[in-house]
Structure 1
Amino acid sequence: MDAVTDEKPWPDTIHAGECEQHEPLVRRVLAPNPSPYTFTGTQTWLVGAGRDVAVIDPGPTGSGMSIGDPPDANGTGHVDAILRAVEGRRVAAILCTHTHRDHSPAARPLKEATGAPIVGCAPLALSDDGPRADSAFDPDYAPDRVLADGERVAGDGWTLEAVATPGHTSNHLCFALVESGALFTGDHVMAWSTSVVSPPDGDMAAYMASLQKLYERDDRVYYPAHGPAVAKPKQLVRGMLGHRRQRERQILRELEQGVRVVPDMVSHMYKGLDPRLTGAAGRSVLAHLLDLEARGRVLRDGDAWSLAA
């Protein structure tokens, strides 16, 4: 389905706070915020094996936790876990892929603890009318430097390049690790689920264009903010593009059959869906409809939709 998946349980936080090595320049610290939208939790990525490191997506604090603010496996908070993982090294930069509350709020206390600048995506404070209480926007995000597409941040033995990927949010960035061919994909591409695209900030046309942009790259592996690493990026992205096009065709068939409102489309298109996830599925259907409207394929009358003549 388009928003999230409930085919697997969202695991407990037994590994939260532990630092795991994924390749010589890449380690992961898992935040203790598992949920239907975050899977095992937000994955904070540490880049660098020398004198300094970069921290990507420092994660949530307090109300950004989907299950409160629990301790991790070591009995402390997520920022403390990051500090343990970088002990002995300087934090050169704190990078955020986007400003949902399960990604960027911990940048502030981490900056206070280390003095490192916050860089990456642009600030965005938007009233989100979608269903994702765990991922509302972070209105207090204040970067020291905003990265444009192709701009770089470098440290001892590592270089990260910003790859603009709007769609999930308008300010979403991925970060390419030049030395190893890895791409940190935030919420844009995940192996366990497709991403929520929730208007008004989420934009399906932009999301599809960003997927195509990644498909044309030659990244070796993806490290998303939620779920496992992606060992075959092109294969996954090709499938995601096809899946979204299939959803669009389903919506057009629903309209052909006289189904006019989003809740009815969701009930027909997402059989057996966990009721907790119907709102998120509806947001993605709405994003498709708005894209179709912009292309002149459908018409809107209040909450009702129809095929264009």
Structure 2
Amino acid sequence: MAGPPPKPWPTGKAERLEPLVQRVLAPNPSPYTYTGTETYVVGAGDRVAVIDPGPDDPRHIEAILDAVGDARIAAIMCTHTHRDHSPAAAPLTERTGAPIVGCAPLVLDDSGPRADAAFDRTYAPDRVLADGEAMTGPGWTLRAVATPGHTSNHLCFALEESGALFTGDHVMGWSTSVVVPPDGDMGAYMASLDKLYAREDRVYYPAHGPQIDNPRQLVRGMIGHRRQRENQILRILNEGPHAAAEFVPRMYKGLDPGLTGAAEMSVTAHLVDLERRGMIARSGDTWTVH
């Protein structure tokens, strides 16, 4: 997990990354968002798409509209509905009349402790894209690539004209993605990584961190990293029963204390996946090998 680069960051400034792609950084840096959420404006004609409009922050919405300029927004497209990605969709629609297109809304079972605190319940898409469906404009085609795991409704968007893939939080440019049960699913996340590894995208544009110019190499490393975590868990469990929190200090050396909860959730996601595969079992708050 890399630390943020030195300031100043290009917050609120449109950066053109290639002829069809601009990037606008939102003013929401945090230990979970790196320097902030990166919104993308796709297209160079009179109709463009906005990917991951970000938080409902008037400054960021104005920065997006400045990047769009005189063009019309044909679609506001969301990779998933965490609160740093989709809340600006509604006010941006109110300002422009653009439809909201992309991932499905996500409503979690609200019995017991709330697990959806990070989700945007205001998200109301006009059109949900299934895997392989596309949104088009003059000179651009954005095709949905279903990548559940980080969230069950996560999509990536492939820009067919340039070979770019907008990866949301599934693959980020600074850290591995957090997988938080019950909605986050490590088995689905790994299958989605395998799916991306089989593709031949030229470049990834994530929602956090720098662009990724060696996509398949990075994805291969991410798959290997998760397998190493899984093996660490099994080695520790071979010593005896453990609760999820007990894995963190042994597996995450030098971790920012503010990320301890996220690390524990990722460990839990691995544990749930191993249990589902019949390799371990749980008893109350502890886990054991079979």
Residue 13 of structure 1, CA deviation: 6.4
Q: Which moved more, 1:264-273 or 1:107-116?
A: 264-273
Distance in 2 between the 1:129 and 1:291 partners? 21
Identify which of 104, 110, 128 aligns with 2:86.
104
**In the alignment, which residue of structure 1 is the partner of 2:156?**
174
Is the CA contact (8 Å cut-off) linking 1:11 and 1:39 kept in structure 2?
no
CA-based RMSD: 1.5
Correspondence for 1:39 among 14, 31, 34: 34
Question: Residues 99 and 125 of structure 2 are in contact (CA less than 8 Å); yes or no, is this contact kept in structure 1?
Answer: yes
Aligned positions of 1:144-163 closer than 5 A: 144-163=126-145
Output one character per residue of 1:174-232: Cα deviation in whole Å (capped at 9) or x when no partner: 00001000000000001210000000000000000000000000100000000000001
Partner of residue 90, structure 1: 72
Specify the SS of the correspondent of 1:296. Answer: coil
Q: Which runs of 4+ in 1 moved over 6 A?
A: none
Cα 1:10–1:35 change in 2 (3 A) is farther
Q: TM-score, normalised by structure 1?
A: 0.90
Distance between the aligned counterparts of 1:95 and 1:240, measured in 2? 26
Cross-structure match for 1:282: 264
CA deviation profile, 1:271-303 (whole Å, cap 9, x unmatched): 221111110000000000000000000000011
Show the counterpart of 1:30. 25
Q: Are 2:45 and 1:50 equivalent residues in the alignment?
A: yes
1:210 aligns with 2:205: no
Where does 1:116-195 land on structure 2 (aligned, <5 Å)?
Answer: 116-126=98-108, 136-195=118-177
Amino acid at match of 1:77: R
Percent identity between matched residues is 69
Q: Please list every run of 5 or more consecutive structure 1 residues that lacks an aligned counterpart in the other structure.
A: 63-75
Shift of 1:11: 5.3
Aligned to 1:273: 255
Partners of 1:197 and 1:203 within 8 A in 2? yes
Q: What letter matches 2:225 in structure 1? A: H
The answer to which structure, 1 or 2, has the higher relative contact order (CA under 8 A, 6+ apart) is: 1
Q: Given the alignment of the two structures, is residue 237 of structure 1 paired with residue 223 of structure 2, yes or no?
A: no
Residue type of the alignment partner of 1:123 = P
Q: Tell me, what secondary structure is at the counterpart of 1:205?
A: helix
Contact 1:34/1:41 (<8 A) preserved? yes
Residues 10, 35 of structure 1: 8 Å contact kept: no
Distance (Å, rounded) in 2 between the aligned partners of 1:229 and 1:129: 34
Figure out how many residues of one structure are paired with residues of the other and give that number.
287
Task: Name the structure 2 match of 1:220.
Answer: 202
Query: Structure 1 pair 198/58, CA: closer, same or farther in 2 (3 Å)?
Result: same
- Which amino acid counterpart does residue 263 of structure 1 have in structure 2? A
**1:59–1:106 CA contact under 8 A, matched in 2:** yes
- For 2:5 and 2:239, the matched residues in 1 are separated by 36
Give the C-alpha shift of residue 14 in structure 1.
Answer: 4.0
SS in 2 for 1:116: coil
Paired with 2:114 and 2:254, the residues of 1 have a C-alpha distance of 24
SS of 2:242's partner is coil
Q: Is the contact between residue 10 and residue 34 of structure 1 (CA under 8 Å) also seen in structure 2?
A: no
Asked whether 1:15 is paired with 2:15, we answer no
How far apart are 1:22 and its partner, in Å? 0.2
Once the 2 structures are TM-superposed, how far is the Cα of residue 129 of structure 1 from its aligned partner?
5.2
Which amino acid in 1 is paired with 2:18? E
The Cα of 1:10 is off from its aligned counterpart by 6.3
- In 1, are the aligned partners of 2:4 and 2:35 still within 8 Å (CA)? no
